[in-house]
């Protein structure tokens, strides 16, 4: 069931996403509202997958820039900002978040996931696609190694307690505009993942899909806060 942006969900567990900033706006959705987490939630991906490099890959997202305030911050008609969670407005709240994904999810109802966080790993990169707050709270994590082999892991949080759930990836595909996985690089790509969600007790099963484009800047694991003056984003796959 959808909720208005002014709705405050019950305080059970807070989930915090990593943040970074480039050129005056944040690169990922920095926080989620308090929600309850499905116990024993887990996902398995036993499929072999290798990303395809498609230099001519293109979409509207790659050629446009859209930003918004972090979740819970609303702008009134007179221009002043309000934190709907009740906290004071901070300097971080004033920074606008870049929409680095344009993916559609069918989980808990069709909705758009507009944020993608990318963090460099010892063997490649980890992507986290999220969005749809406050009505929808889920994310898709994708790990890609230097051989471009990739694994997908879905997780979801719910506004009310649920039984133990697990997810299984049944179909997946990944396309990258470039195979450059270096930090500070803008990574453009497309992903499609289908998965089953099963209630461990009732055995009730539903099938969902997440599909769309993404364009995050790959961050180092310790990267925090705003971009330092003079730092540059490597963008070798720009058209």
Is 231 domain-assigned? no
In-domain check, residue 6: no
Does any domain span residue 15? Answer: no
Q: Is residue 10 part of a domain?
A: no
Total domain count, the chain: 1
* Domain around 159: 21-219
| 11 is a domain residue | no
Q: Is the distance from CB of 97 to CB of 115 less than 8 angstroms?
A: yes
Q: For the ranges 6-10, 29-33, 124-128, which has the lowest average pLDDT?
A: 6-10
The size of the chain, in residues, is 239
Summarised one tens digit per residue, pLDDT across range 112-131 is: 999 999 999 999 999 999 98
130 domain-assigned = yes
Alpha-carbon gap, residue 84 to 69, rounded angstroms: 12
42-46, 136-140, 142-146, 161-165: the lowest-pLDDT one: 161-165
Higher pLDDT, 149 or 1: 149
Tell me the average pLDDT across 105-110: 91
Q: Is residue 238 part of a domain?
A: no
- In the block, tokens 């997946």 appear at 172
Report yes or no: 27 and 219 within 8 Å, Cβ to Cβ: yes
79-102 pLDDT, tens digit per residue, is 676 666 667 777 776 677 889 999
113 within 8 A of 213, measured Cβ to Cβ? no
Instruction: Report whether pLDDT(57) > 50.
Output: yes
- Dihedral through CA 182, CA 188, CA 194, CA 199, nearest 10? 60
Residue 171 lies in a domain: yes
């Amino acid at each position: 069931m959808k909720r208005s942006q002014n709705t405050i969900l019950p305080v059970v567990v807070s989930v915090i996403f990593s943040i970074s900033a480039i050129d005056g706006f944040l690169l990922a959705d920095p926080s989620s509202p308090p929600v309850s987490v499905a116990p024993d939630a887990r996902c398995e991906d036993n499929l072999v997958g290798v990303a395809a490099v498609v230099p001519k890959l293109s979409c509207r997202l790659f050629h446009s820039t859209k930003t918004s305030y972090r979740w819970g911050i609303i702008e009134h008609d007179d221009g002043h900002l309000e934190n709907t969670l009740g906290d004071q407005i901070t300097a971080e709240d004033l920074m606008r978040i870049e929409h680095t994904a344009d993916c559609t999810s069918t989980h808990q109802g069709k909705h758009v996931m507009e944020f993608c966080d990318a963090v460099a790993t010892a063997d490649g990169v980890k992507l986290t696609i999220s969005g749809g707050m406050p009505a929808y709270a889920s994310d898709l994590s994708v790990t890609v190694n230097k051989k471009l082999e990739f694994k997908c892991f879905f997780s979801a949080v719910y506004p009310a307690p649920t039984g133990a759930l697990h997810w299984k990836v049944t179909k997946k595909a990944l396309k990258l505009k470039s195979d450059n996985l270096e930090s500070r690089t803008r990574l453009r790509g497309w992903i499609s993942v289908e998965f089953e969600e099963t209630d461990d007790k009732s055995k009730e099963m539903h099938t969902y899909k997440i599909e769309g484009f993404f364009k995050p800047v790959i961050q180092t694991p310790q990267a925090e806060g705003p971009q330092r003056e003079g730092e540059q984003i490597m963008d070798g796959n720009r058209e």
